[in-house]
Each structure stands twice: as structure tokens, then as C-alpha cells.
Amino acid sequence: MAQVILKNIVKNYGKLEVVHSINLDVAHNEFVVLVGPSGCGKSTTLRMIAGLESISGGEIIIGDNVVNNLPPRDRNISMVFQNYALYPHMTVRENLGFSLKIAKRDQTEIDKSVDEASKILSLEDYMDRKPGALSGGQRQRVAMGRAIVRHPDVFLFDEPLSNLDAKLRAQMRVEIKKLHQKIQTTIIYVTHDQVEAMTLADRIVIMRDGNIEQQGSPTQVFENPINTFVATFIGSPPMNLLPGRVGKNMLEFSGGLILPIPIDFKDIVKPGQDIILGFRADHIMPVGHDLTIDGDSAMIEMSVGVSEPLGTETLLYTQLAGQEILAKMLRPRIVQDGETLTFNLDLGQCNLFDAVTQRNLR
Amino acid sequence: MIYKKLPQWFLLILPAIIILAAVILIPLLFSLYSSFTSYRLTRPDTLFNWIGTFNYEKAVKSGVFWAAFGRTILFLTIALNLEMFLGLGLALLVSRVTRGQRMLRTIMMFPMMFSPVLVGFQFKFIFNDNVGLVNNALQSLGLSNSAIPWLVDEKLAMFSIIFAEVWMSTSVFAILILAGLFSIPQDPQEAAKVDGCTPWQSFRHITLPFIMPFIFIAMAIRSLDVARAYDIVQVMTNGGPARRTEILWTLIGRTGYVDAKMGYANAMGYVSIFLAIFFTIYFFKKLNAARVELGMAR
């Protein structure tokens, strides 16, 4: 049983503060993904939990112990690094068993744990090879194997998939998810890839500039982003944003576009307020293409600039109120560049953000 | 015209061939030939007095030669190992320094910038039994009231020479090992920390295998250097007194130029070269094994 608690964690490099007093509770057996653009402090945070970076302020608790001043070896954690960090002079077997050998466990126990890990990760055929003779995906599996043989309280993953090609990445993503189901341990996972965050996490923690912007389940942050940053960072393609102003019972946009106020926001907005309307490509589709709308909707005519056929769907790049926006077409047909289509916007799925604070008004 | 018949590639490398032949090949063959004659510098006509393998037999049977041979190996072994451990320690310390490291590295290289002859003179003075710094200091501090014969006693003289050699060349090891330390990737070291290694275990299991190739490169280079050591010993003790610090090349030099027996000196030289070749091959094998270990070579 090990929960991880971060209390007001601060990290300074000299006078530069890179992590600003963040708080995070990770429950036992939870899969938490820290996600954010590069330089947001997510890796630094992970390395502080691992003990590879000193903590400038606050407390980190793993299990029931404050670990601020414990070296990594006394924290009972495992870490998987971006560049695998395998020991090049050891075979896969030796790499897997190294931590147990260092802990002076007896050989039969080491062999048992190593065999078990190699089975979980199907590494049996490579046990006597050195890392240099393995492919990227195999190396990554060895790195994960090395982490699981010790049965640590907490797993830390530092962008483990970013060195793999797209296909392998998708494959390893599934393997990591399976691994979590099998070994049932707390996992803290750092990535800049929002797809990994969405697919793996029980809870996503979105960071920017050393602060936590929002945390919640993947659907929560996807459907109710707390601000425009989260709205554009999470989800692919990013949420469309249209700056406008609240008029009398309607929203006004440049170019004379007028839309009704989404019903959830009717009582929140005041006339004259500057707002940003946010909606995903999934909620603006050409009429007649399978978009099911429960509540209000709006019909808009737009001409398609570029279309990207993806097979099951086609992405349509269009212009609305002076902004480039993305729409989606299910059951696609070939669309000519410049073709004008009528789109249906699902107002019930729209978000409104304050133009000044960029925060969701909901 | 003859040169028109020579292929072009041969013409192009001909200057190099001529120069190499003149400065390396001909002297080499000449010295090899002369080792089979009773060639004496004072009597040039003896160059044509072929005596077969007599010089080699004489060298192999000579106690003086084997004593010098053994002393060279002893000198080499002690000096190289001391330099390696001190250099490793120095490199590890310097690699931890964050401020002023560049200056420290430069200072560390100072001993390498002196000519070995000057280093020899410097330590000849330091270890002089009458006016030397060491005896002076020991006596002033009351640690000793007699003049210790640093360069006269067999063991002390050997110690003094090794001391001078170590002073001069430890930084070669330190610099090469430091380069090795800088080339170690950070990740495996961090992984070792997370895997539960103490600092000593990290060093033993991760750092050391990574810097082994660098240690062996330093060993190979330095073994060649030390196996042909001449200047320091020549200046400090001249192989004496009474051959107590005679090593191979002081013996060979004296035989060839002082005693003028060039034929015999050349024969001893050829036997001694095997020593250098042996150490070179040995350390290169070790180097390659260490590289294979790291997956850098196959």
C-alpha cells in the first residue's frame, strides 16, 4: 500500500523557481499522468519524487513516510527513463536482476523474480543478450522489467515512449496498461503526449509553467477544460476557440456571425462581456453526417479550405468569424477544396471562457 | 623514360616511401644487421665482422641484462599502478568540482609540460642527501637526524625515481580517466541510484565498467612510455650507483655509447622491444575486451 502525497512542493534552481508550490494526492494503485508542454516542470516533479532532484520546499510523502531527505534507494520506488538507461555491460538477465543482487537477495529468489518479470513482458528469448543487440521496443520492455522485479511501492515513468516510433508507441501503450492491471501498483507517469495521457490515466494532471492547471479523469478534462490552455492541450484535434462578445440573448462574433447563448451559460454571462466560445471538431459537422444533437444547435454555412481524409472520418479546415476552425465529417465523402457546406453546431457541447482570465465560465 | 612505366598510384606514394625508408626502414635494418656483428663505434671496420647470434647469446646469458630487465618490469608495474590509482582518484575528485574545474584541469597538466630531463634534475635536487629538500625538511622537523641516502640506497633510489615518474605522469591517467568520466551517460547512473545502489556500488558496477576502456588506453600508452624510460633515471642516478637502478635503456645506452659496443647494444635493444610489444598487445586485448563488455565493439 503506498499513496504518494505532494504538499506545497517547490523547486528552485538558484533564484529561478520552476515548480510553484504544487499539491497532489495519488491514491494507492492509481495511475496518474502528469502532462504538459516541455519545460512545465513535470519531469522535475517526477525526479523530486524519485529523489534524483532535491526538494526546495514542501513535503513528499510515500506510503506513510516523509521522504524529503531519503536517497532514492530508501524510497522503494522504480523508475523507467526516457532513454531506457539500461546498463550496457550487462545482459538482459543481469539488468533485470541487478537491483536484487545489490540488495543481496539470494540467487534463487533473484532467478524467480527475473523469470516472472521476463514472462510478464515476454522477454524470455532475449535474456542473454546485451542491450546493444536489442531493438528500441525490446529495450523499453527491459527497462520496465527492471522496474517491476523489485515489487516497488511506486512506479515512476519519465516519458518512456517518446523514443519509439508511432506504431511501437501505440503497442507499448497497451502493454503499459496491461502491466498496470497485472501488477496493481501506484504509477506516476510523465509525458508531453496528450494521447498517452488520455489513454493511460485514471487521473490526468495538466501542468503549465510549474503550476497544476487542472486534474481529473480523462473525460472530465476533455469535456470540461478549466481554461483555454487545457482546452487546446488536451484532445486531438485541439478545441476550436472563437473570441466574441455577449449581446442581448446572443453571442456576437466578428464578420456578423451571431449564435444563441448555450443553455448552460445563459445565467452566467452578462451582456457586453468578452468571451471565447470553445467547441470540438466532433460537435460541428456537415448536416446529414450522423451528428446526433440533443439540445440546441445552430446552422452555419462555411466553405472548406482543406480536407484531410482519415478513412473513417474526414477533417475539414474552414474559416469562421476570421478564425481557422476544424470540423469533422463522419461517413465521409470526397469534399472539393472551396466547397461550401452547411454545418450543424451542437450548442449543448460548447464551452464559454472568459476572454480576460481565459477560464471556463461554467 | 622509365617513370612513364610506373603506375600513377605508385608515383604518388613514392615520396612517402622514400622518406619512411630513409628515416625508419634503413636504420631499423641497419641496427638489426649490426646486432649480428661485433660493431664497435670506435672501430668502424668491425661493422663487417659477422659473428652470428653471439651478441644475443651474450645478452641472454648476462646477469646484468636480466637484472635490468627485471628492474624495468618492476619499475613499470609499480609506477603504472600507482599512477592509475592516483589518477583515478584525482579524476573522481576533479569531476565532482563544479566551480573552477577548468582551471584545476589546467593546473593538473603542469607536470606533463616539463621535459623529463628537467623533472629528473628537480628530483635529483629534492632527494639529494646533503643539500636536498627532503632531508633538510626531515632534519628540521626533527624526524631524522642522519642524512638519508635517497639516491644511493638501492630501494630508496628506486623509490625516488618512481616518485619522480609518478609526479610527472599521474596527470596523464587523470586527464584520460576524466575524459572517460565525462563521457558516461547520466541515465544509467541515475537508474543505479533508483535501483538501490550506494555511491560505492554505483562506482563499482556502473562507473568503473564505463571508464575501463579509458584506463586501458592510458595503460597502453604509458606502458610504452615507461618501458623506454631513460631520461629521468639517467639524470637522477645514471643507473647507479653500481648499477643499483640500472634499467634496460640506461644499460643499453651505456653499452652502445659509453662502451661503444653498438652491436651488443642493438642486440639487447631487440630483446627489450619484446617487452614493449608484449605490454602493448596485452593492454590492447584488455581494452578491446572492455569495449566489447560495453557493447562498443564486437
What is the separation of C-alpha A30 from the centre of its chain, rounded to a whole number of angstroms? 15
Residue B270 within any structural domain of the chain: yes
Query: Which residues on adjacent β-strands are paired with residue A341?
Result: A302
Tell me whether residues A98 and B193 touch, CB distance under 8 A. Answer: no
pLDDT bracket for residue B298 (50, 70, 90): low
Q: Residue A20: helix, strand or coil by DSSP?
A: strand
Give the count of domains, chain B.
1
B157-171: average pLDDT: 90
Is there a contact between A155 and A188 (Cβ–Cβ < 8 Å)?
A: yes
pLDDT at B2 over 60: no
Query: Which residues on adjacent β-strands are paired with residue A196?
Result: none
- Interface confidence (ipTM) of the complex: 0.81
Chain B residues close to A71, C-beta within 8 Å: 193
Overall size of chain A counted in residues: 362
A312: cell is: 473513417
Confidence (pLDDT) at B139: 84
Confidence (pLDDT) at A1: 61
Residue numbers of the domain that contains B285 = 62-293
Lookup result for grid cell 487546446: A232
* CA-based nearest distance B189→chain A, Å: 8
pLDDT at B3 over 60: no
CA-based nearest residue to A229, from A213, A218, A205? A213
Q: Which residue of A has its CA nearest to B200?
A: A102
DSSP letters for A284-302? EEETTSS---SS-EEEEEE
Q: Which residue of A has its CA nearest to B190?
A: A52
Per-domain residue ranges of chain A: 4-233, 240-354
State residue B98 phi and psi, 5-degree precision.
Answer: -105, -30
* CA-based nearest distance A47→chain B, Å: 10
Confidence (pLDDT) at B151: 81
Amino acid of residue A113: S
DSSP letters for B145-170? SS---TTTSHHHHHHHHHHHHHHHHH
Tell me whether residues A77 and B194 touch, CB distance under 8 A. Answer: yes
Query: Which residues on adjacent β-strands are paired with residue A351?
Result: A278
B201-205: average pLDDT: 92
Confidence (pLDDT) at B201: 92
How many C-alpha atoms does B282 have within 13 Å on its Cβ side? 10
Tell me whether residues B191 and A50 touch, CB distance under 8 A. Answer: no
Q: Which helix (H) or strand (E) holds A143?
A: helix A136-148
pLDDT at B55 over 70: yes
Which has the higher per-residue pLDDT, B294 or B66? B66
Distance CA A114, CA A106 (A): 12
CA-based nearest residue to A41, from A5, A17, A24? A17
Q: Is the dihedral of CA A214, A215, A216, A221 positive or negative?
A: positive
Give the pairing type, strands A274-279 and A258-260: unpaired
B106-132: average pLDDT: 87
Residues 6+ apart with CB under 8 A from B65: B59, B251, B268, B271
CA-based nearest residue to A192, from A224, A162, A165? A162
Residue B266 within any structural domain of the chain: yes
Residue B170 within any structural domain of the chain: yes
Give the pairing type, strands A154-158 and A186-191: parallel
Chain B residues close to A67, C-beta within 8 Å: none
Question: What is the average pLDDT score of chain B?
Answer: 87
Tell me whether residues A88 and B197 touch, CB distance under 8 A. Answer: no
Chain B residues close to A150, C-beta within 8 Å: 195-196
Query: Which residues on adjacent β-strands are paired with residue A360?
Result: A353
Residue B246 sits in a domain whose CATH number is 1.10.3720.10
Chain A residues close to B191, C-beta within 8 Å: 79, 81, 85-87, 146
Query: Which residues on adjacent β-strands are paired with residue A206?
Result: A35, A214
* CA-based nearest distance B263→chain A, Å: 50
Instruction: Count interface pairs A-B at CB distance under 8 A.
Output: 67
Tell me whether residues B205 and A102 touch, CB distance under 8 A. Answer: yes
How many C-alpha atoms does B98 have within 13 Å on its Cβ side? 0
B60: cell is: 641472454
Give the pairing type, strands A154-158 and A77-80: parallel
Interface check B259 vs A, CB under 8 A: no
Beta strands in chain B (DSSP E): none
Lowest-confidence pick of B49-53, B86-90, B196-200:
B49-53
Residue B53 within any structural domain of the chain: no
CA-based nearest residue to A344, from A294, A305, A288? A288
Residue A331 DSSP label: S
Distance CA B17, CA A56 (A): 67
Is there a contact between B68 and B249 (Cβ–Cβ < 8 Å)?
A: no
Q: Which of residues 61-120 of B touch A (CB under 8 A)?
A: none
Confidence (pLDDT) at A54: 92
Confidence (pLDDT) at B277: 86
Pick one of 3.10.20.600, 3.30.365.10, 3.40.50.2300, 3.40.50.300 as the CATH number of A4-233.
Answer: 3.40.50.300
B36-49: average pLDDT: 85
Tell me whether residues A87 and B206 touch, CB distance under 8 A. Answer: yes
- Three-state SS letters, B21-62: HHHHHHHHHHHHHHCCECCECCEHHHHHCECCCHHHHHHHHC
Distance CA A165, CA B36 (A): 68
Residue B33 within any structural domain of the chain: no
Q: Residue A102: helix, strand or coil by DSSP?
A: helix
The yes or no reply on domain A240-354 and CATH 2.60.40.10 is: no
B24-43: average pLDDT: 89
Tell me whether residues A102 and B193 touch, CB distance under 8 A. Answer: no
Q: How many helices (H) and strands (E) does chain B have?
A: 15, 0
Amino acid of residue A129: R
* CA-based nearest distance A14→chain B, Å: 14
Q: Which helix (H) or strand (E) holds A219?
A: helix A218-223
Q: Which of residues 196-235 of B touch A (CB under 8 A)?
A: 196-198, 201, 205-206, 209-210
Confidence (pLDDT) at A254: 87
B39-54: average pLDDT: 85
Chain A residues close to B207, C-beta within 8 Å: none
Note down pLDDT in tens along chain A; length 362 residues: 689 999 999 999 989 999 999 999 999 999 999 999 988 999 999 999 999 999 999 999 998 889 999 999 899 999 999 888 999 999 999 999 999 999 889 999 999 999 988 988 888 899 999 998 898 888 988 998 998 898 899 999 999 888 888 888 888 898 889 889 888 899 999 999 888 999 999 999 999 999 999 999 999 999 999 999 999 999 888 999 999 999 888 899 988 888 999 888 888 888 889 999 999 998 998 887 766 777 788 888 899 999 999 888 899 999 988 889 999 988 888 888 888 989 999 988 899 999 999 999 88
Residues 6+ apart with CB under 8 A from A217: A201, A202, A203, A204
Interface check A50 vs B, CB under 8 A: yes
pLDDT bracket for residue B279 (50, 70, 90): confident
Of A71, A85, A89, the CB nearest to B191: A85
Q: What percent of chain B has pLDDT over 90?
A: 26
Q: Which residue of A has its CA nearest to B211?
A: A89
